[in-house]
Amino acid sequence: MKELLVISGKGGTGKTSIVGAFAVLADSKVLADCDVDAADLHLLLSPTVKTTNEFRAFRQAVLDQSKCIGPGQCSGVSAVCTEVCRFGAVSASGAGLPEIDSVYCEGCGVCARACPHGAISMEEVLSGHWFVSDTAYGPMVHARLGVAQENSGKLVTQVRREARSIAEERGLDYIITDGPPGIGCPVISSMSGVDLALIVTEPTVAGTHDLQRMVELAHHFGVKAAVCINKYDLDEAGAKQVEEYCSREGMKVAGKVPFDEEVVGALVRGVPVLTRGDGDACRAEGKAAQAIRRLWENIEIELADGSLR
């Protein structure tokens, strides 16, 4: 079993479109959407949810009004909790009891420690959900983080753990993961221990800069990586510079995908690039589809024995 992670330095480079196409091309796989802050692979694969699971990884301050004696009695004019909270999550007006704003609460627990009457406790809250689904292309694990919720790295770990469990139980060959953009905690959680990270970039100044950050991250964690240059023909000189950079860094360019309006059409219809979306499983014949097919063939070679040149 091999684990492929598809990532990018920023959103909008086309990594989810690439993963959607891989879902069509790979025969034995489980799909995982680890972009839990803004998951969108489901928009292409139309999964049928089989199980829904709660994700709790954040503790938040909760006030027990029966224990609170109110401002002016526990600490002069104001309540202790309103004084110690540095995030403006606890407020009190007049003689009323303090109120805790769940959006502003960072879960630090200082107010609970400072309250002299034990009126504030730290309780786990529902941070999001993760799902196990079926698609026309195989099983899929995905998630949705709640509004203003944190610990997306832990949710990514949960999604990966479940995807690996499914792959092992069913004897599948691949775990194909749509990773988060950027270089933050969710990306690090997605990257650890994968067999190959495919970095999708564009031939622009911003795209090259973001690619460099992703390469540095992969080197730091000792993860083997390859590069896909998307829409390379919009700036072939820029694409050449990306290839030269990859050569200097010892990175393999696994494929170059040209701009193709067929991709836009597939996105509008909400289907992977390599399907027509008319109820059959026909393969598209556009230049982008052909390039992605070659890209997948190269990825298979690299995952098998690392012999991609």
- Yes or no: domain 58-125 corresponds to CATH 3.10.180.10: no
pLDDT tens readout for residues 11-43: 889 999 999 999 999 999 999 999 998 899 999
At residue 308, does pLDDT exceed 80?
no
Two structure tokens written together for 66: 């029966």
Which residues have a Cβ under 8 Å from the Cβ of 216 and sit 6 or more positions away?
A: none
Distance CA 154, CA 169 (A): 23
**Domain limits of the chain?**
2-56+128-305, 58-125
pLDDT at position 77 is 53
Confidence of residue 280 (pLDDT cuts 50, 70, 90): very low
Write out the H or E segment, with its range, that includes residue 130: strand 128-135
Query: Looking at domain 2-56+128-305, what is its CATH homologous superfamily?
Result: P-loop containing nucleotide triphosphate hydrolases (3.40.50.300)
pLDDT tens readout for residues 35-67: 998 899 999 999 999 999 999 988 899 999 889
Average pLDDT over residues 174-199: 94
